[in-house]
Structure 1
Amino acid sequence: MMRTALITLLLASVTMSMILPRSQASLACITCVATVKGVEAKALAEGGNVAKHDVDQICLKEVPTHNAEHLCEEYGEHEVDVIVALIKKDVPPKTICQQLNKC
């Protein structure tokens, strides 16, 4: 059991490093966590009504760097729905981003 979990973790780590360079993977995680925190505040204030363009604006506000712009654009309607649903279940931002494969 432990061996399977270790192999799975190792494969996930290798796969992520092959997809994104380490600095990009870190930037994706930082961008996601900051964005989810911003979306969380908006969702709680407005009863969970958050649209994709709201997430894009929050993302660009929270991480105002040129390198993060393309990461902000990657949030689609599906991801927005997942983010808001998990926020409503009190899932921490880092865990949400892990589930979205950003961290």
Structure 2
Amino acid sequence: MDKVFIRGLKIETVIGVFAWEKQVQQPLIFDLTMDWDITKAAETDDLAYALNYAAVSDRVIEFVQGNQYDLLERLLVQLAETLRTEFSISKIKIRVEKPAVAPDAIAVGLEIERG
């Protein structure tokens, strides 16, 4: 299967379990890899048959900023299901880094795969 990816999508949002996290926006950095058959898009040179990564990026931003979760786990599961449903993606992998949380680490995060 072909893969469409978005790497390093930085979104400022409110997320976390601690009281201070609920008061400030923090950066989250997303990497997405989505299975997509590019055959028809390649044959026709028509965006209608491609997975429009600009539209996916916009939807990720809208979703993340429009919902508030305590845990990355819930955010990623809900986001994966939303994207799979709205864009008819058969398989998706989402990785997120939360760089502001662990001062001695470059980042902490989570990766899930669905489909």
Note whether the superposition's TM-score is higher than 0.5: no
Q: Which has the bigger relative contact order, CA under 8 A and spacing at least 6?
A: 1
Which structure has more helix as a fraction of its residues?
A: 1
TM-score, length-scaled by structure 2: 0.31
Structure whose CA Rg is larger: 2
TM-score, length-scaled by structure 1: 0.33
